[in-house]
Each structure stands twice: as structure tokens, then as C-alpha cells.
Amino acid sequence: MNRWCVWQGLLLGLVLLLATSPELRQVEGHEEHDAHYWQHMAHELLFEKKDYTMQKINVAKNIMVFVGSGMSQATVTAARFYNGGDNETFAFERLKWSGNARTYCVDSRVPDSACAGTAFLTGVKSNRGTVAVDPTVQRGDCSTLDAAKKLTSIANPDSGWESDADVTAAGCSSATTSDIAHQLIHGDIGKHFKVILGGGRKNFIPTAQTDASGAPGLRTDGKNLPQEWQQSKQGKNATYITTVGELASLDTSKVDYLLGLFDYDHLPFSADIADGSDTPALVRMVHYSLEMLQKPEHTDGFLLFVEDGNIRRAHGQNKPRKAFEQVRHYAGAFNMAKMMANEQNTLFISMNDVGSTLTLPGYAARSSDPTATAAGTSDADALPYLGLSYATGPAHSTYYGPGTGRLDPLKVLEGMPNALERTCPAVVPMAEGVDGGEDATVYASGPWAFMLSGGYEQHFVAHTIAFASCMDGACDGAATAVLSLGAVLLALGVRFLV
Ligand SMILES: *[C@@H]1O[C@H](CO)[C@@H](O)[C@H](O)[C@H]1NC(C)=O
Ligand SMILES: *[C@@H]1O[C@H](CO)[C@@H](O)[C@H](O)[C@H]1NC(C)=O
């Protein structure tokens, strides 16, 4: 018997074994019961991948990096079911290569978005809570920050220092330690960005002025950063917008620089953006960004960086449905970006920065909704349990009674008629759930994407991007295209701004 036959024999044994389980019988009358269905599916992918590895490798002229913050593998698996079925495939999952990035930071086994972002954008690991400063700088400590310790990016010893008020509240001088919003507008890197879209307007305007929503800004230095941004782009068309209507009516061929701040605070969850709201969908922001970046005059290529911070925020509130809706919008935006660019000269990356504490305990039936029905019954307390749960977060108090212990989750859910607001149980009570520390999955296609397969440290991603695009001659002098800093970056990252 050759090896293939042995495998088929084993598989058949497995299929027979499974066929006796009650769960499988619930999914009836479709192709999955036919062995050819699985064989055909695998063969198609086999040939697609075989052809792909035979292609010539170009320099990556353009780079697109999509980050789903908190989009752990458990999140992707559960979101697949939520958005169509266990066999649903998100656009980013169709990228040809994938690998696992170890996300720990220098002082913490589990990273936060600040040190994780520092790793994959600057190529150096650092301490938790710090942004683009080397690992000798501790969070919140401006006394250890000097110019030599700044890595090439937007640098800050604390990811919470979004406006100058945050810096001075921490006992530091805003004259020597520039806040994140200020760096985005005036910093050595930030001032070159062609397109910046996101939320967090409150950090860009002074306390004496109100923003489009009627609320006052937070800046105590009196600066109106959008105005200063426009003045600094003299002779160019620098357009500042705050609504989806303004975005939709842009003639991008006339605009040289674009700044869009679409919310006073965090951008809302995709699931909460109502028709007629001022907030553009992620897919729209990506579309207009690419229109700006793909102008013929950008002959050196571009870097598009898109971060969705709301998957992580939804997990922090223990609201899995909001997280899964967000994943769907993220995947849709990625899909459109993928279709607008060419894999021959564009390196596409989709990954998560940090994990989540979401788990999928066994053994829910295939057809069941993990956020609404029981996965099984506990053999210890005889109560049902849901197909999803969190290790930490505010939903603890909803699912555990004082003195009585665990409540019946199905009864608890009856009291939450709004499906999107439904939570899943958390073991440890916390006002906001924390991030998870499992490896991040990195998906990639395009020039040199195969370098991102296997297991590696998260900061390797930045080095791969530099190599693939020959940034700073990082590819052995074989450079034919150099990505100029004057090119582009899109900081949709609500996290850095908000
Ligand atoms: C998922 O499986 C169902 C049932 O076999 C099938 O009808 C559907 O086309 C599959 N969807 C995808 C995206 O493969
Ligand atoms: C700048 O671009 C905007 C957006 O398309 C346009 O409305 C405006 O007229 C342009 N301004 C100038 C001075 O060209």
C-alpha cells in the first residue's frame, strides 16, 4: 500500500468514526459527506500554490499592511461561522503564505497594541505601553527618553499620551515630549504622510474651541492641529474633512494631502454605524486612500497601513458579535484593497498585533450559534455552557451571581434581546478585558511573501517589509525601487489617535 492509500484508509476510519457522532448528523444532505468534495477542494489549492511558487520575484514596489487588532485565531474561526459557515473564507485567508509571529514584549509575555505595533513597524521589540522607543525606555517615564532612544516612527514613551494634556498630567513637559497627535502632524515621519484617516479629533483641537460635534478639544497648548497641518502644506491642496459626505465628494485628483478625522473620540464599531451617520465605513476609507496613493505621480510606490482597533475593543467589552461584524468589515476592506492592486509588485500582509482571551470550548454542533446556544452541559455543575467564553472582562458579573456561582447562560441571554449587545461569560471580572498572548497569525502574498511563513518573532515583519521593498538598500544592493518616505502612510489606527 502506498502512502496515499494509507492516508485514505486513515481518513475513511476517521469519517466512519465521526459519522457515529450525533453532531455530524445535524448537518445533512450536502457535499461534505462525499469524499470527493474534500479531495477536489485540496487539489485545487495544491495546483494554485504550485503555480504560485514558480513565479519570478520582483521588488515590492507597494506595500499594504492590514492589522486586525485583537483578531486572534479563535476570533477568525468563530467569525467565519458567524459570517456564513465554518467553511467561509475571509479574503485575507486566501493570501498564499502564512506564519506565526511571537508577540511577547521585552518586559511582558503578553503584549499590548503599543509594543506589538512598535515591533512590526520599527523592527525592534520594546516595553509594554511604549510606542517606537527602544527597550531601555519604561512606560510613562519621560526622564529616560532622549533622541537616541527613539526608533524611526512616531515615538512616545506612553501610548496613552494622545494630546499634550496627557503628557503634562503625567508630570512631563510637553515642550520636550511631543504627544502622539502633535507628532502625527509635525513629526519627522508624520509630516510626510499623504493620507491620514481615523478618529480622535479631541486630541487635535484646543480646549477653547469646539469641534464639529460641538464638544471642546483637549489640547491645553492652544494648538489647532488640523489648521496647522493645512498651513504647513503651503502651495499644495491639503484637505481636512470630518464627514463621510465630504469624503464622498472629494475629487482626489485635486488633493495632494488628505486628513480625515471622523469622530470626536474612537471611531464607532462597524456594527453601530447607522445609515446617514457621519462616519465612513472602513472599506470607503481604504478606497479613497488608494485613489490618493495610486496616482501616477507616485512613481516610487507607497505604503498603506490600515489598522482596525475595534475588534480588540469589542473583545474588551466581551461582545463577540461586534467583534465578528468588525472582522467582516475588515475582510471586506482588505478584499477591495487587494482587488485595486497588483500582486506582481505589491506585498500584501494581514495580521493581528495582539491576541484575545476568547476561547471556543467543545463540542458545539456545526449548526449552532456559539453566541446564543449551549455547546454542552458541564459535568460538574450540570448547567449548560456557551460555545464562546472569555478569560477576562466585564461580563463576569452578568454570568456569575454573588454567592450562587455560575448562572445558566441561556437564561441570562433571554434578558439580552439586542443580539449585537449580547456578551459571553468572562471568568475573571475586569472593567475591560485584557489582550491575549498567543502567537499572531501573519498572512501574506506578493513579492517575498514566503519569507513570512513559519514561526518567527513579530519584529521580523518590519525587516521583511524593508527587504522586500529594498528600503534603505536592505536587499543586498539589488534595489531597483526605493520606497520614499515622501510616499505614504494611512493611519486608520484608531488606537494611535484615540
Ligand atoms: C460551504 O459548505 C456548504 C455545504 O457543503 C456549501 O453549499 C457552500 O458552498 C460552502 N461554502 C464555501 C464558501 O465553500
Ligand atoms: C482642493 O481639493 C478640494 C477637494 O476636491 C477641492 O474642493 C478644492 O477646490 C481644491 N482646492 C484648490 C485650491 O484647488
| 22: amino acid identity, one letter | P
Ligand 2 midpoint to CA 238 (Å) = 8
Same domain? For 349 and 423 the reply is no
Pocket lining: 9 vs ligand 1, CB cutoff 6 Å: no
Parent domain of 455: 62-357+434-472
Under the banding of pLDDT at 50, 70 and 90, the label for residue 12 is very low
Exposure string of 480-494, with b = 16+ CB inside 10 Å and e = fewer, is: ebbbeeebbbbbbbb
Total structural domains within the chain: 2
- Ligand 1 center from residue 41 Cα (angstroms): 11
- Compute, in angstroms, the gap from residue 73 CA to the centroid of ligand 1: 21
Residue 2 has pLDDT above 50, yes or no: no
- Does residue 44 lie in a domain region? no
* Ligand 2 proximal residues by C-beta, below 6 Å: 237, 239, 250-251, 254-255
Query: Is the bond preceding 264 in cis, omega lying within 30 degrees of 0?
Result: no
Instruction: Let me know if residue 481 belongs to a domain.
Output: no
Residue 29 placed within a domain: no
The answer, yes or no, to whether residue 491 has pLDDT greater than 90, is no
Tell me if 87 CB under 6 Å of ligand 1.
Answer: yes
Enzyme catalytic residues: 113
Please tell me the least confidently modeled range out of 43-52, 310-319, 383-392.
43-52
Q: Does 480 reside within a domain?
A: no
User: Do residues 174 and 273 share a domain?
Assistant: yes
Closest ligand relative to 292 C-alpha: 2
Cell numbers 509630516: residue: 191
Residues 199 and 348 in one domain: yes
Query: Same structural domain for residues 266 and 280?
Result: yes
Name the residue with the closest Cα to ligand 2, atom 8.
254
Give Cα separations from 325 to 270, 332, 432, 493 (angstroms).
7, 11, 20, 18
Q: Give domain status of residue 25, yes or no.
A: no
Which residue minimizes the CA distance to atom 12 of ligand 2? 237
Q: Are residues 280 and 393 in the same domain?
A: no
Binding site for Zn(2+), by residue number, is 353
pLDDT 10s digits, 267-304: 999 999 988 898 999 999 999 999 999 999 888 899 99
Kindly state whether residues 302 and 405 are assigned to the same domain: no
What are the residues whose beta carbons fall under 8 Å from the beta carbon of 67, sequence distance 6 or more?
A: 117, 120, 305, 306, 307, 308, 350, 351, 352, 353, 493
Nearest bound ligand to the CA of residue 34: 1
Do 209 and 343 belong to one domain? yes
Shared domain check, 424 and 438: no
Distance 31 CA to ligand 1 centre (A): 8
State yes or no: pLDDT of 160 exceeds 90.
Answer: no
Q: Do residues 235 and 247 make contact, with C-beta atoms less than 8 angstroms apart? A: no
CATH number where 270 lies:
3.40.720.10
Q: What are phi and psi of 276, to 5 degrees?
A: 85, 0
Identify the band that residue 225 occupies on the pLDDT scale cut at 50, 70 and 90: very high
HSE, CB side, 13 Å, CA atoms: give it for residue 338: 21
Query: Is residue 462 in some structural domain?
Result: yes
Confidence of residue 404 (pLDDT cuts 50, 70, 90): confident
Ligand nearest to the CA of 234: 2
The pLDDT tens digits of the residues spanning 67-93 come to 999 999 999 999 999 988 888 999 999
Closest ligand to residue 85's CA: 1
Q: Which atom of ligand 1 is nearest to the CA of 88?
A: 13
d(CA 385, CA 387) in angstroms, rounded, equals: 7
Residue 88, ligand 1, Cβ within 6 A: yes
Does the residue 14 lie in any domain? Answer: no
Per the CB < 8 A criterion, the answer to whether 141 and 160 are in contact is: no
CB 462 within 8 A of CB 483: no
Burial class (CB in 10 A: 0-12, 13-18, 19+), 43: exposed
Q: Please tell me whether residues 246 and 390 are part of one structural domain.
A: no
Q: Which residue has the cell 474588551?
A: 316
Closest CA to 341 of 61, 59, 50: 61
Do 71 and 204 belong together in one domain? yes
Pairing type for strands 303-308 and 358-359 reads unpaired
Residues 6+ apart with CB under 8 A from 234: none
Report which ligand 2 atom has the smallest distance to the Cα of 237.
1
Instruction: Please report how many Cα atoms fall inside a 13 Å half-sphere around the Cα of residue 327, on the Cβ side.
Output: 32
Please report the atom of ligand 2 found closest to the CA of residue 253: 5
Q: Confirm whether 110 is domain-assigned.
A: yes
C-beta of residue 311 within 8 angstroms of C-beta of residue 294: no
Q: Give CA–CA dist 220/316, Å, rounded.
A: 30
CA 162–ligand 2 middle distance (angstroms): 30
Q: Would residue 226 be called left, alpha or beta, if left means φ above 0 and alpha means ψ between -120 and 50 degrees?
A: alpha
| CB 30 near ligand 1, within 6 Å | yes
Do both 344 and 205 map to the same domain? yes
Which mutation among 87, 93, 367 tests ligand 1's pocket best, with the greatest number of atoms within 8 A of CB? 87
CA distance 105 to 182: 26
Using the atom order of ligand 1, give the atom closest to the CA of residue 30: 5
- Which range is least confidently modeled, 99-103, 154-158, 345-349, 448-452? 154-158
Domain co-membership, 149 together with 228: yes
Q: Where are the alpha helices (DSSP H) in 393-432?
A: 396-399, 409-414
